[in-house]
């Protein structure tokens, strides 16, 4: 395994992070425990979860992923070996079962943290993230700006003050954002700088060969402000393994089980995937190796979050840590990007 550090900390994390959002629906508790055992054995010390998981979110499975991680901690005694990240859900009309109000008010943040700690059976969370912005903005596959939300009030300072209190209590250690854009990142950084409040350490956004939108301006913030990218969906919901190019049905694949997830299902995504697979095979690589290798080599990356429903998939994903793409391969990748730029928003 290869390691880096969470920016502006001395916490060592693996460059591959175990994503757990399938625990509780596609994966049983036993499956989840087996994945965590295997990942730790292979040097993965960074796990990511969220209060809303498993996904797709629903009341029946709310918090199931954190509970499965919690029972693994209790059974294995491995809590101190893991850098644990979780998230608070933001506003969503469909998630009212989570708590009385889905916002980032002090009451909501404290409530969410306390309940995550109980489910996780731990006293602290190493990295606590806001799952998506509280304000209305373009995220989760929205390419175009959808308009301002006049009802939202700037509360960046209050949010950081709340986190400051929780850090002083020892319930969380560091904070990050997720599905955030450059303006939101800079506002949090501005408040922390001038008000002497906790600084965001990471941003968890989608990043893969079919979605390189992070490079447009957020990568610059990441580089110069030292906010590390936690890249989720590096294999684009399995699209970048090439399995959907075989003609097989794959009934248990995520995008077949949950057809509402259409981010990587367009004709442009399929065409780009074919071209990337040609590059991979030309250079003696699998498409998975090409896709993961590309993400892992980015200078703004802290860790790539992988998810799997089988141990075989998990092994293949973890083994890509040793892949190094040549300048020639990277140039060929960029030629495809120039012809079919970011087909998945």
3-class DSSP state of 93: helix
Whether the link from the prior residue into 56 is cis, omega within 30° of 0, is: yes
**Cα–Cα distance, 64 to 296 (Å, whole number):** 29
Give me the residue label for tokens 């009385």: 100
Q: Would you say 265 and 236 are in contact if contact means Cβ atoms under 8 Å apart?
A: no
For the record, the structure tokens of 72 come out as 């693994």
Q: Would you say 46 and 302 are in contact if contact means Cβ atoms under 8 Å apart?
A: no
List pLDDT tens digits, range 195-208. 999 999 999 999 99
Q: Would you say 45 and 83 are in contact if contact means Cβ atoms under 8 Å apart?
A: yes
pLDDT at 139: 76
Decide: residue 259, CB within 10 A, 0-12 exposed, 13-18 middle, 19+ buried: exposed
pLDDT at 243: 87
Q: Would you say 231 and 293 are in contact if contact means Cβ atoms under 8 Å apart?
A: no
Which of 53, 128, 207, 276 is the catalytic position?
Answer: 53
The mean pLDDT of 64-81, rounded to a whole number, is 98
pLDDT-based confidence at 241, cuts 50/70/90? very high
List pLDDT tens digits, range 88-105. 999 988 899 999 899 999
For the record, the structure tokens of 266 come out as 């367009």
pLDDT at 258: 66
List pLDDT tens digits, range 315-343. 999 999 999 999 999 999 999 999 999 99
Asked if residue 75 has pLDDT above 90, the reply is: yes
pLDDT-based confidence at 259, cuts 50/70/90? low
**Cα–Cα distance, 301 to 89 (Å, whole number):** 23
**Cα–Cα distance, 218 to 52 (Å, whole number):** 25
pLDDT-based confidence at 156, cuts 50/70/90? very high
3-class DSSP state of 33: helix
Beta-carbon contacts of residue 241 (< 8 Å; ≥ 6 apart): 235, 286, 287, 288, 291
3-class DSSP state of 245: helix
Percent of the chain scoring above 70 in pLDDT: 95
CB atoms within 10 A of CB 260: 6
Asked if residue 84 has pLDDT above 90, the reply is: yes
38 counts as catalytic: no
**Cα–Cα distance, 62 to 65 (Å, whole number):** 8
pLDDT at 263: 83
pLDDT-based confidence at 297, cuts 50/70/90? very high
Percent of the chain scoring above 90 in pLDDT: 87
- pTM of the predicted model as reported, rounded to 2 decimal places: 0.95
**Cα–Cα distance, 50 to 65 (Å, whole number):** 8
**DSSP-derived pairing of the beta strands 3-5 and 12-14:** antiparallel
3-state secondary structure 277-339: HHHHHHCCCCHHHHHHHHHHCCCCEEEEEECCCCHHHHHHHHHHHHCCCCHHHHHHHHHHHHH
Asked if residue 281 has pLDDT above 80, the reply is: yes
pLDDT-based confidence at 252, cuts 50/70/90? low
């Amino acid at each position: 395994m290869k390691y880096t550090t969470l920016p502006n900390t001395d916490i060592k994390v693996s460059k591959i992070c175990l994503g757990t959002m399938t625990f509780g629906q596609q994966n049983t508790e036993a499956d989840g425990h087996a994945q965590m055992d295997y990942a730790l054995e292979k040097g993965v010390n960074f796990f990511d979860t969220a209060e809303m998981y498993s996904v797709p979110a629903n009341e029946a499975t709310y918090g199931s992923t954190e509970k499965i991680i919690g029972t693994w901690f209790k059974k294995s005694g491995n809590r101190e070996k893991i850098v644990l990240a979780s998230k608070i859900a933001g506003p969503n009309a469909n998630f009212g079962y989570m708590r009385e109000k889905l916002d980032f008010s002090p009451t909501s943040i404290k409530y969410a943290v306390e309940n995550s700690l109980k489910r996780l059976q731990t006293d602290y969370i190493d990295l606590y993230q806001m799952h998506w912005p509280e304000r209305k903005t373009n995220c989760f596959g929205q390419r175009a700006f959808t308009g301002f939300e006049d009802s939202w009030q700037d509360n960046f300072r209050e949010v950081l003050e709340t986190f400051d209190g929780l850090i002083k209590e020892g319930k969380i250690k560091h904070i990050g954002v997720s599905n955030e854009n450059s303006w939101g990142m800079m506002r949090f950084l501005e408040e922390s700088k001038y008000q002497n409040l906790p600084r965001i350490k990471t941003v968890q956004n989608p990043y893969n060969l079919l979605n390189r939108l992070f490079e447009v301006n957020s990568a610059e913030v990441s580089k110069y402000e030292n906010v590390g990218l936690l890249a989720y969906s590096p294999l684009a919901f399995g699209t970048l393994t090439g399995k959907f190019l075989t003609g097989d049905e794959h009934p248990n694949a995520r995008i077949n089980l949950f057809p509402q997830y259409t981010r990587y299902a367009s004709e442009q995504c399929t065409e780009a995937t074919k071209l990337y697979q040609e590059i991979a095979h030309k250079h003696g690589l699998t498409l998975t190796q090409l896709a993961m290798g590309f993400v892992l080599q980015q200078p703004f990356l802290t860790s790539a979050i992988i998810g799997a429903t089988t141990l075989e998939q998990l092994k293949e994903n973890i083994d890509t840590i040793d892949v190094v793409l040549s300048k020639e391969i990277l140039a060929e990748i960029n030629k495809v990007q120039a012809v079919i730029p970011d087909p998945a928003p």
